[in-house]
Amino acid sequence: MTDCIFCKIIKGDIPSFKIYEDDKVFAFLDIAEDYYGHTLVVSKQHCTNILDCDSQTLNAVMHAVQKISRHYVEDCGFQGVNVINNSGECSGQSVMHFHVHILPRKSDDGVDLWPAREKLGVDLKALHEALRMK
Ligand code: 5GP
Ligand code: ZN
């Protein structure tokens, strides 16, 4: 896609700090510099997000996510990772090309990505009826 920023990064038209590449996947450091080692794992095939990508593309991206995560833990001194995907504008997706964020983690890094919240007080039985796949 000509006007897609991640397609341009994959082609090399926009520079990036590449972490990993194979025939289906390209991974590079996020420009935000908000979390130490924040990495984007991107499908080479342009699709919008997890809702429309084909299963081969999804498998390739998730396989690369595991490979890179293992590298961060086994070779780079991290102890774990958060793996995040935003799909849809409502979820916070800002670049409409399928990608997965890896945030490498250390136990003492002080990051809290999932702060505790008040219980919603929903009726779980009704919720289950509304959401279960029939
Ligand atoms: P989203 O919000 O769509 O889940 O994530 C998009 C991410 O792409 C953001 O974290 C943003 O910082 C990153 N990003 C946007 N433009 C560029 C760019 O030109 N280069 C790099 N390396 N990252 C980018
Ligand atoms: Zn694209």
CB of 25 closer than 8 Å to CB of 61: yes
Show the domain range for 38.
Answer: 5-131
Task: Examine the pLDDT at 1 and tell me if it is beyond 80.
Answer: no
Give the number of the atom of ligand 1 that is nearest the alpha carbon of residue 93. Answer: 3
CATH of the domain at 92: 3.30.428.10
Among residues 22, 49, 33, the alpha carbon closest in space to that of 103 is found at: 33
The number of distinct structural domains making up the chain is: 1
Task: Examine the pLDDT at 61 and tell me if it is beyond 90.
Answer: yes
Q: CA 25 to CA 92: how far, in whole Å?
A: 22
Ligand 1 pocket mutation, candidates 95, 101, 103, 113, criterion most atoms within 8 A of CB: 95
How large a percentage of the chain has pLDDT more than 70? 100
The per-residue pLDDT for range 31-52, each reduced to its tens digit, is: 999 999 999 999 999 999 999 9
pLDDT band at 2 (very low <50, low <70, confident <90, very high): confident
Query: Mean pLDDT across the chain, nearest whole number?
Result: 97
- pTM (2 decimals)? 0.97
